[in-house]
Amino acid sequence: MLGFSFLGCYNVSCMKKFPQGFLWGAATAAHQVEGKNIHNDWWKAEEEGVLKFPSGEACNHYELYAEDFALARRLNHNCHRFSVEWSRIEPEEGRFCEEEIEHYRRVIAELKKLGIEPVVTLHHFTSPVWFMQKGGWVNPGLRKYFLRFVEKIAREFASQVKFWVTINEPMVYSSHSYLLGVWPPKETSLLKTAKVTFNMAEAHVRAYRLIHEIYRQRSLPSPMVGIAANLQAFEVCRPTLKNRLAAFLRNKLYNFLFIDEVRSRKALDYLGINYYSRNLVDVTGWRIGDFLAQTCSRDHHPLPKNSLGWDIYPEGLYKLIMASARYKVPIFITENGICTEDDNLRWSYIRQHLEQVHRAIAEGAEVLGYIYWSLIDNFEWDKGFTPRFGLVGIDYHDQRRTVRESAEKMAEAAKNNGI
């Protein structure tokens, strides 16, 4: 081998290296893995039969987290993203549960013991029942409750945590819960969607300032506070004016509006990108809904798909990283993953997306790390347990974990810090 620099190489067979200190890991979210999150809005909707699939004990990660983290360590992960469940910490308004705080203290301590950097999400789609009964995210007057929870958690864990994700995928939350009506509270109001989105943006900005203030007071090194934004690759099916206009609008409203807002208020230390797929824009109607949501229903641009039918389009990740350069903050791939029964496809998905991340880095993007969704198979919201996103498979009959081949391959990449 002729040798390689950190990014490029002079020999076709040599490895594409990632920058020193690159973070490799996988993510989970409380309600999807812990089991028995009985005080949140999802659980309530599941119990009432408003949702088809109950999360039940999910992966019992609440009890088995140490076993799961040991697997992550064995797979050479040096970071791990998870969420703290607000409804466990504050099951009733104003009553903070010390036992649950101690639970998450043990979770974080376990990660640190294994040399795994915790990346802590504060809101990942679920909210306490009491908060939703008061009006939830629609009501700006209730933001103070989220901020009180954030303050509590940040004060407890400031000395242990560097990376915070305040809110996971605000646009997915507002659109699924308030526009499409598929997630609790199953509303279909454009006005409420807008309110929730802006309320979450404001909540993020304030949480950002609050967390920074706590670190300042304690003279701790400055934390990295960001959001995890779901970005989609909006590509036109045919380059008609209508399609281009629609793609422009979707990019602006869905991908970048929220980020523009929080970045312009200087409340972003890094941008977390959650990337999965392409959205092939093809607008035939004239209604606003057509411009915002219509996609190509024919099959003349076929791509391989995941088990939910989402197109696999790795180049989209590169394009979105490059488009995000304008924010002038580091990028963190906080989610990228595939549900599939074909584990070879999983590894090829991961490898191809890593190649695109590498390509962006080689062209000057600053990317802190790559977090695969998900460490373990889990509860895929309204789709239940059928989609298999995990690097580690779960047998839901006995909670047995099985490390997949793709996980071993990603472990090799993490070990080599390259592909």
Per CB under 6 A, the segment of 47-55, 56-64, 155-163, 168-176 that binds ligand BGC is: 168-176
Q: Which of 167, 171, 172, 317 touches ligand BGC by CB under 6 A? A: 172
Determine, following the binding rule CB under 6 A, whether residue 169 of this chain makes contact with ligand BGC.
yes
Q: Which residues, in sequence order, are CB contacts of 114 under 8 Å at separation 6+?
A: 69, 70, 72, 73
Determine, following the binding rule CB under 6 A, whether residue 85 of this chain makes contact with ligand BGC.
no
Q: Provide the 3-class DSSP secondary structure of residue 96.
A: coil
The pairing of beta strand 270-281 with beta strand 224-236: parallel
Determine, following the binding rule CB under 6 A, whether residue 178 of this chain makes contact with ligand BGC.
no
Tokens found for residue 267:
């409340």
Whole-number Å distance between alpha carbons of 112 and 106: 10
Q: Which residues pair with 227 in a beta bridge?
A: 271
> How many residues of this chain interact with ligand BGC, rule: CB under 6 A?
10
Number of neighbouring beta carbons within 10 Å of residue 299: 7
Q: Pick out residues in 119-158 that bind ligand BGC (CB under 6 A).
A: none
What interhelical angle do 61-74 and 98-113 show, nearest 10? 10
Output the smallest distance, CB 168 to ligand BGC, in A: 5
> What is the helix (H) or strand (E) element at residue 401, kind and residue range?
strand 400-403
Whole-number Å distance between alpha carbons of 80 and 78: 7
Q: Pick out residues in 3-42 that bind ligand BGC (CB under 6 A).
A: 29, 32
Q: Pick out residues in 254-283 that bind ligand BGC (CB under 6 A).
A: 274
Per CB under 6 A, the segment of 92-100, 131-139, 165-173, 236-244 that binds ligand BGC is: 165-173
Q: Which of 87, 127, 168, 306 touches ligand BGC by CB under 6 A? A: 168
Output the smallest distance, CB 51 to ligand BGC, in A: 15
Residue number with CB closer to ligand BGC (29 or 296)? 29
Residue number with CB closer to ligand BGC (170 or 418)? 170
Closest CA to 73 of 126, 110, 31: 110
Q: Exactly one of 169, 235, 261, 335 is catalytic; name it.
A: 169
Output the smallest distance, CB 166 to ligand BGC, in A: 14
Whole-number Å distance between alpha carbons of 328 and 356: 19
Closest CA to 147 of 219, 71, 86: 86
Determine, following the binding rule CB under 6 A, whether residue 380 of this chain makes contact with ligand BGC.
yes
Evaluate whether 372 touches 76 at the Cβ level (below 8 Å).
no
Residue number with CB closer to ligand BGC (243 or 378)? 378
Sequence-ordered strand ranges (E) for 294-358: 331-336
Output the smallest distance, CB 32 to ligand BGC, in A: 6
Tokens found for residue 109:
């301590």
Q: Pick out residues in 315-344 that bind ligand BGC (CB under 6 A).
A: 335
Active site residue 100: no
For binding to ligand BGC (CB under 6 A), which residues are involved?
29, 32, 168-169, 172, 230, 274, 335, 373, 380
Residues identified as active-site: 169
